Amino acid sequence: MIHKADKLLWRVAEAAGLMPVWVDAHGRERGVAPDTLRAVLETLGFPCRSDAQCMESLERLQQAGEATADAGLLIVQVGRPFILRREVSLHYQIQMEDGTRIMGTARDLGSGRVGLPPVNKPGYHRFSMGRIECTVAAVPEQAPAVGQLLRRMPAGQAPSRSDMQAKGWVLGTQVYGLQRTGTVMQQAGSRVPAGWEAGGDYSLLGQLAAAAGRHGAAGLAISPVHAMFTADPDRYSPYAPSSRLFLNAMYADPVAVLGVEITGLLEQGGSGSLVDAAGCLDWPVIHSTRLAQLERLYQAFDTWATPADREDLHSFEQKGGDALGDHARYEALHAHFALTLGAGHGWQDWPAEFQDPASLAVRHFAESHESSVRFHIFLQWLAARSMALAQAEARKHMSIGLIADMAVGTDPRGSHAWSRQRQLMTGVSVGAPPDIFQPAGQNWGLTAFSPWALRRHGHAGFLETVRAVLAHAGGMRVDHVIGLGRLWLVPQGADAAHGVYLSYPQDELMDLLALEAWRHQALVVGENLGTVPQGFNADMERRGFLGMSVLWFEREDAEPKPFRQAGQWLACSMAMAGTHDLPTIRGWWAGRDIAWRLRHGEYSEEQAEAQRSQRELDKAALWSALQEGGHAAGGQDVPVEAPVTEIVGFLAATPAVLLNLSLEDLTGQEEQVNLPGTVPADMTSAHPNWRRTLASALEDIFQESGAQEILSALRTAGRCLPDQGSGT
């Protein structure tokens, strides 16, 4: 706990939104060290190295805490009256988003406040009254109901009881894991340039979505496709992007966008093997091959582009505005300085005059390197058009289509952090405190929005990020959705356990997310795993957001912690066996995660043996739950092979409105996508995070016997909606 001498520091910390005391995953109260509070306050711009600094910071915080409509955004609930400060004139006008105008006179409530009648339509409307001019964000009570989305009902139409009870399933996949093999390659012929056979792309997403939709899937949940570092192919974790405002250009499919005629321009060539000896993706080879081909394509743009191509690219650039321009300039600068600083550097390493996106030096660089800057605009154009085609193909066969993933933050060295310096935090990293899953805590090496800057800028950064994710998707998964309420910040140089929670304007961010979901008619799923604050899940459910119910964590509190029966699971959730950070069904059954942690040095042989013994008990408990629920035959011993179909049937029987079936489980993979935790010094023994390819050919996935059994279990459980096909 904090010493009495640090009471002033505590006051400043609480005023800044920090939580000097918090409750861990075991229900124990924990205190934050004064040095941690001082370090984080310093990075937030509120130094507290002395009592005088504490008093000055406290005064600044109190002044900044006056919440008014002056930030340019006023959030109100649809159908509810709201209150503002008194102005000289009580006459107001609202320019509705649909062009209509509402004029009236506010009601004087006394005490310097006035009351205004409800705004009855969701949207962003312009409000003016006296000196107050702002945008009114009128938020609906809830995001679109899942039953409404599954039935493809238009916005505003009230779903019936049967609609509300509808349940579906979605397929989950890692974009990079898809590859063109077998029949796909034969059919494509020369349409597939060297370098696009493995590593995935947006066209393959569309093809997979179409196939899954024909088998009753309502959506295709994908790994993040945020923009990465074009000059650094070694940074390929989709959850550590350069920018969440743009797309991973290496997933673009130029042939799908521009037609088969341009295949020859992509020059087949000696790219080398796209996978390593273990069959995992060799990102540097794939990246360099594709990038060289795209550069050749761009250089010949003036000779092959049609007038429609040129006009579309110009329109895309105009619509992208300063944000797109900043990203393209960052990419060009990063590639330029990589020649001397190395590809792993960040914008903080550039000469000072280039660290400000609006500087004269940056402008002169862009003018003298115009072709390089425009190349990156071209890449984003190809990526956006490819992603749009994928979503269009998905929507032909699915009610929701693509469900995009929004990472919790970005690499502090990247484009987003450079172009939005006033809105993002520096000197701290986002992570998670010690919990049951990761006893040492986690430091993700990411930066995130400052809550003070969010409010000061009318939440513009949050809104543009959400809109970018939903631009070509029918839904979104919010990674570490708890971050809408609080984030665990780790000071630079500290270990993950020595961090502190920073509070965020949870109600405001959730309200705006609900409004964006309503505007896009999109699904919202939040990854609400880990140390969840009290009341957080209820706030999500009230707004119509789905949480995540993960099989491995659905256990009763009483010892020996049996698995919770299917009927006891939450309805307002997406049920699943695991996540990208957890073992697959077959991998969990075989203890592959334990073997990998032993290999990484996280477990001693003795600890690993204890984990194996516990896993045997857990398998017996799960098998018992399957039998009790009628999902496995009674009187049988725990099987040697993983009962994948029985487990999927168990998940399908839960009340959860959606079931997420991973492609790894559908195809019977043992190895998991990502293994968070300790990275061994010997990288040859490291788990190949984010590099595994799908063992099955894309066109064969749904024809294999194991997949057929799983699909049958989904149909039996009523997960495949009639209007999405019977799987034939």
pLDDT digits (tens, 9 = 90+) for 678-708: 777 677 789 999 999 987 778 789 999 999 9
Residue 310: helix, strand or coil by DSSP? Answer: helix
DSSP 109-145: EETTEEEEPPP-S-EEEEEEETTEEEEEEEE-SSSPP
Kindly state whether residue 90 falls inside one of the protein's structural domains: yes
Q: What type of residue sits at position 603?
A: Y
- pLDDT digit string (tens) for 422-477? 999 989 999 999 887 788 899 999 999 999 899 989 999 999 999 999 999 999 99
Residue 106 lies in a domain: yes
- Cite the DSSP H helix spans in 250-341: 254-258, 283-299, 301-304, 307-341
Q: What is the mean pLDDT of residues 495-514?
A: 96
Instruction: Supply the CATH number for residue 103's domain.
Output: 2.60.40.10
Residue 175 sits in the same domain as residue 224: yes
The answer to whether residue 93 sits within a structural domain is yes
Evaluate if residue 3 carries a pLDDT over 90: no
- Where a domain ends, among 119, 139, 159? 139
Structure tokens at 44: 């937030």
Q: Are residues 179 and 256 in the same domain?
A: yes
Rounded-to-integer distance, Cα 300 and Cα 311, Å? 16
Model confidence pLDDT, tens digit, residues 8-23: 999 999 999 999 999 9
pLDDT of residue 65: 63
DSSP classification of residue 591: T
- Which pLDDT score, from 0 to 100, does residue 271 have? 56
Q: What is the mean pLDDT of the chain?
A: 91
**Boundary residue ending a domain (64, 83, 105):** 64
Same domain, 74 and 54: no
pLDDT at 636 over 80: yes
How sure is the predictor about 229, in pLDDT bands with cuts at 50, 70 and 90? very high
Q: Does residue 38 form part of some domain? A: yes
Give the Å distances, CA to CA, from 46 to 54, 59, 76, 325, 498: 8, 10, 31, 32, 19
For residue 66, pLDDT beyond 80:
no
Q: Residue 192: what pLDDT?
A: 60
d(CA 308, CA 323): 24
Find, among 173, 179, 252, the residue nearest to 220 by Cα: 173
pLDDT at 196 over 80: no
Q: Quick one: 257 and 197 in the same domain?
A: yes
Q: What is the pLDDT of residue 68?
A: 40
**571-629 per-position pLDDT tens digit:** 999 999 999 999 999 999 999 999 999 999 999 999 999 999 999 999 999 999 999 99
| One domain, residues 8 and 26 | yes
More confident residue, 132 or 522: 522
Residues 260 and 379 both lie in one domain: yes
Q: Report the C-alpha gap between 554 and 547 in whole angstroms.
A: 13
* DSSP secondary structure letter of residue 242: S
Reply yes or no: is the peptide bond before residue 81 cis, omega within 30 of 0: no
> 658 falls in which pLDDT band (50, 70, 90)?
very high
- Higher local confidence (pLDDT), 189 or 435: 435
Residues 187 and 257 in one domain: yes
Q: Are residues 188 and 259 in the same domain?
A: yes
Residues 259 and 381 in one domain: yes
CB 673 within 8 A of CB 174: yes
For residue 209, pLDDT over 70 is answered with: yes
**In whole angstroms, how far apart are CA 156 and each of 16, 152, 153, 521, 627?**
40, 12, 9, 10, 43
The pLDDT, as a whole number, for residue 164 is: 60
Structure confidence at residue 444 (pLDDT): 95
Determine the pLDDT at residue 156.
61
pLDDT at 161 exceeding the cut of 80: no
pTM: 0.94
- Integer Cα distance of 219 and 394 in angstroms: 8
**Residue 274's pLDDT is what?**
84
Share of the chain above pLDDT 90, in %: 80
Span 319-339, average pLDDT = 98
Instruction: Give the chain's end-to-end CA distance (angstroms, integer).
Output: 63
Predicted pLDDT of residue 73:
93
Q: What are phi and psi of 158, to 5 degrees?
A: -70, 125
387 located within any domain: yes
Is 108 in the same domain as 247? no
Question: Which percentage of the chain shows pLDDT scores above 70?
Answer: 92
Q: For residue 354, tell me if it sits in a domain.
A: no
Q: Is the pLDDT of residue 405 over 90?
A: yes
Tokens 């550097």 label which residue?
345
Q: What is the mean pLDDT of residues 348-375?
A: 98
- For residues 507-518, give the mean pLDDT: 98
Q: What angle do CA 610, 614, 616 make, to 5 degrees?
A: 120
Q: Does residue 493 lie within any of the structural domains?
A: no
- Whether residue 659 is contained in a domain is answered as no
Give me the amino acid identity at 675: L
Of the residues 121, 139, 157, which one is the last residue of a structural domain?
A: 139
- Shared domain for 51 and 22, answered yes or no, is yes
Here the tokens at position 283 are: 């990102």
Please compute the mean of the pLDDT values over residues 136-148 and round it to a whole number.
95
**191 versus 445: which is more confidently predicted?**
445
Question: Taking each helix axis from N to C terminus, what angle separates 360-368 and 307-341, rounded to the nearest 10 degrees?
Answer: 120
User: Is residue 2 pLDDT above 60, yes or no?
Assistant: no
Tell me the average pLDDT across 367-396: 98
Q: Which residue has the higher pLDDT, 157 or 210?
A: 210
Q: In degrees to the nearest 10, what's the CA dihedral of 426, 431, 434, 439?
A: -120
What domain count does the chain have? 3
**Range name among 139-148, 289-298, 430-439, 701-710 with the lowest pLDDT average:** 430-439
* pLDDT of res. 88: 84
**Rg value, the chain, Cα:** 26
Q: With a cut of 70, say whether residue 269 has pLDDT above it.
A: no
Statement to judge: residues 77 and 11 lie in one domain: no
d(C-alpha 375, C-alpha 370), whole Å? 8
Q: Which domain holds residue 122?
A: 69-139
